[in-house]
Each structure stands twice: as C-alpha cells, then as structure tokens.
C-alpha cells in the first residue's frame, strides 16, 4: 500500500475496527503480506480481525499514522476545542468524526500522545464520545503490549472512571490519601474485578509494569471509599484479604516484579488502617512468604527488596540471618573473585540491616 487512495482505505479500515472497539489489540511485526498471504483478501482489509480480536501489522499502522497526522491537525483546528459549542451542521459532524478517527490511530501508534488524549477528553466532556465507549476503547488499547506500559493511557482511563463514578468530596484522614495519586472515584466489587483483570493481563504482557500496578493500587483504594456505596468493615477486609493472597501468589510466579511487592506493601498498610483481622500476627504471613522466596531464589534482587519492604526484627528474622544470610555471605568471602548474585545480594542486605540497626 503506497498510493494515497490505498493508504486512505487502510486508515478508514483501521479506524472502523478500532472504534467497534475490539476486545484485544496486538501490533504485529512486519507488513500485512506476512499475515494475510492472499492478495484479494488483503486488498479488502490488511488487518486481522477474528472473534473481536484485532491484529494490526506494524507497517500498515505506521502508514495509517502518517496519514492520520494531517487529518488530526486540520480537524482539531476546525473543531476549535476551546470555543466550539455542540455542532449542528453536517460539515462539523464530519470534522468531529475525523478527529475521533485520527486520534484513535495516533494513540494506538503513540499511547503517550497527550494532544490526542486531550482531544478525546474534550470530546467526552461535550458528549461527542460516549464515556462508556471510550472506557472500552482504552481497555482494548491496554490489552496491547505496545500500549499497556504507558502511564498516560492508564491516567486517561482513571479520568474516565472519575466521570462515571465521581466522589463529591473526601472525609479528612480517608485511607485513600496514602498515595499521591488518590482516586477521585469509587468502584463497586464488580467494577473492581474488571480493572484487576485488565491490570493482570497488562502485567503479563509487560513485566514489572509500574503504571499498571499503580492503577491497581488506586482502584483497590477506590473500592474502600466509605459512604459512597455499601461498604462495611467485613467487605473491606474481604477485598483486602483476597487481593493480598492474589498478589502473594503473583509474586511466587513473577519473582522479578518489584512493583507487585510495592503494591502489596500498600495493601498491608490499608489493612492495618482498616483494622482488618486478616493479619492477626502483624506482618508475619507476608514476612514468612518473603523469607521462603529469598531462600528459594537468592539470586533475584527483587525478592531481597521484597524482604526489605516487610522486614521486622524478631526471632524469625534473627534465625533467618543466622541460618541463611551469614552462611551465604561466608561463601562469598571464600570466593572473592566469583561472587554469585545471591552472595552479592546477601552482602548488600546485611549492610542495609546494620545501617537500620545503628
């Protein structure tokens, strides 16, 4: 596809598929000929669309992006986002559709495209894009490895959630103040499940997904907001206990994911503030979990960091240092030139602990 007419057809075909929107999107390496060998089929559409899952060859995406740039610029200028009221004529409706279509392609190609994201926000504010439809569109984008690592897109989704489930004001000292990006929305348990599933997929696609875990933390906090929907201490405890168990299981199978450990720390803090009975012996279940993983995989720095996050001096901690960390350090002293990563991490841990004790 090199002539203008073919690229235009490619662009329109892509926007039609994007705005359905699909359940998942995957950017495929190479061009359409690799994925759709049949010329006649490829001429109808260079994109794969099966069971509402969209595959976008990278070459065709780039061509559509370059075609979309001037369309977006012209449509945005004509639309006059800062002055225009709700349109009433056919010409302006065409401009709006161009803005919707071109911004979708720009964001798929560059999920951090602030101008395109802001244009779509303005369209949502003026009810020219359904907020529910935009939420589905962001879910489709965040199903892609290409998009799910971008913090701007996660923020855009939270902005949408805030419009759907707004909170008028916060009581002082509310537990949602624990992080700087506090939620200004609330989620029911069902809505929370949707967000957790979205983050889980994103973190599988892009390991150690800081922005995904941040979104998950904020959504958990949003489900604990009192006075907005039926939320009792028992419900709060159930939400937190389920999430703590799920994240501990996640860390077992993703032992390099320090962002998950940071999320777990926030959960424990929330559990303490909510006076949950899930952790009756302080942090013992989580500390024991961290100790077990460090013993099993001492070469993984993220697990040592996980242990530091929940470290608490006591008999169990002292026994761990004496039975595991110090012998591991001694092994390294005997092999000065070829210290394993596990030995290095043990030495760094002891230095950190000594500083903490002094």
Strand partners, 56: 27
Return the residue matching tokens 């809505």.
191
* DSSP structure string for 201-219: HHHHHSSS-HHHHHHHHHH
Q: For residues 269 and 279, what is the distance between their CA atoms, to the nearest angstrom?
A: 11
Q: For residues 244 and 103, what is the distance between their CA atoms, to the nearest angstrom?
A: 38
pTM here?
A: 0.86
Task: Give pLDDT, residue 176.
Answer: 42
Q: For residues 95 and 76, what is the distance between their CA atoms, to the nearest angstrom?
A: 8
Task: Give pLDDT, residue 225.
Answer: 77
Write out the chain's pLDDT in tens, 358 residues: 456 668 999 999 999 999 999 999 999 999 988 998 888 888 788 999 999 999 999 999 999 999 999 999 999 998 874 444 555 565 678 899 999 999 999 999 999 999 999 999 999 999 999 999 999 999 999 999 999 999 999 999 999 999 999 886 655 444 444 344 456 888 988 999 999 999 999 999 998 899 999 999 999 999 887 655 566 777 788 889 899 999 999 999 999 999 999 999 999 888 877 665 555 444 568 889 999 999 999 999 999 999 998 898 888 889 999 999 999 888 866 555 557 889 999 999 999 999 988 8
For 250, how many CA atoms within 13 A lie in the half-sphere containing its CB? 25
Residue 38 main-chain phi, psi, to 5 deg: -70, 120
Return the residue matching tokens 């993220």.
302
* DSSP structure string for 111-140: TT-HHHHHHHHHHHHTTSS-HHHHHHHHHH
Give the residue ranges of DSSP H helices in the chain. 4-18, 32-35, 39-44, 58-79, 90-109, 114-125, 131-142, 151-164, 189-205, 210-222, 233-253, 258-273, 284-296, 301-310, 315-320, 326-334, 341-357
Specify the DSSP class assigned to residue 28: E
For 132, how many CA atoms within 13 A lie in the half-sphere containing its CB? 1
- Residues belonging to the chain: 358
What region, left, alpha or beta, does residue 52 occupy, with left being phi > 0 and alpha being psi -120 to 50 degrees? left
**Cβ-contact 211, 150 below 8 angstroms:** yes
């Amino acid at each position: 596809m090199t002539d203008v007419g073919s690229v235009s057809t490619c662009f329109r075909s892509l926007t039609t598929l994007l705005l359905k929107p699909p359940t998942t999107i995957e950017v495929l390496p190479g061009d359409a000929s690799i994925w759709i060998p049949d010329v006649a089929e490829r001429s109808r559409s260079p994109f794969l669309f099966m069971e509402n899952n969209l595959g976008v060859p990278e070459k065709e995406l780039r061509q559509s992006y370059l075609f979309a740039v001037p369309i977006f610029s012209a449509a945005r200028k004509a639309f006059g986002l800062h002055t225009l009221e709700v349109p009433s004529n056919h010409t302006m409706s065409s401009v709006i559709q161009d803005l919707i279509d071109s911004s979708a392609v720009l964001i798929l190609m560059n999920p951090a495209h602030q101008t395109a994201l802001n244009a779509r926000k303005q369209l949502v504010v003026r009810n020219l894009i359904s907020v529910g439809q935009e939420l589905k569109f962001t879910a489709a984008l965040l199903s892609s490895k290409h998009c799910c690592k971008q913090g701007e897109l996660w923020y855009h989704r939270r902005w949408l959630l805030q419009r759907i489930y707004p909170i008028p004001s916060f009581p002082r000292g509310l537990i949602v103040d624990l992080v700087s990006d506090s939620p200004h929305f609330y989620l029911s348990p069902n809505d929370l499940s949707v967000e957790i599933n979205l983050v889980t997929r994103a973190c599988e696609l892009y390991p150690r997904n800081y922005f995904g875990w941040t979104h998950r933390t904020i959504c958990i906090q949003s489900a604990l907001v009192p006075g907005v929907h039926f939320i009792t201490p028992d419900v709060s405890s159930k939400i937190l206990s389920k999430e703590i168990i799920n994240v501990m299981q996640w860390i077992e199978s993703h032992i390099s994911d320090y962002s998950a450990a940071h999320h777990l720390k926030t959960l424990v803090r929330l559990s303490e503030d909510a006076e949950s009975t899930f952790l009756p012996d302080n942090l013992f279940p989580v500390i024991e979990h961290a100790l077990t993983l460090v013993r099993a995989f001492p070469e993984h720095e993220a697990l040592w960091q996980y242990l530091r996050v929940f470290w608490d001096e006591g008999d169990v901690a002292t026994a761990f240092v004496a039975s595991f960390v110090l012998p591991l350090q001694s092994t390294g002293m005997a092999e000065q030139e070829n210290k394993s990563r596990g030995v290095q991490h043990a030495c760094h841990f002891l230095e950190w602990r000594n500083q903490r004790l002094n």
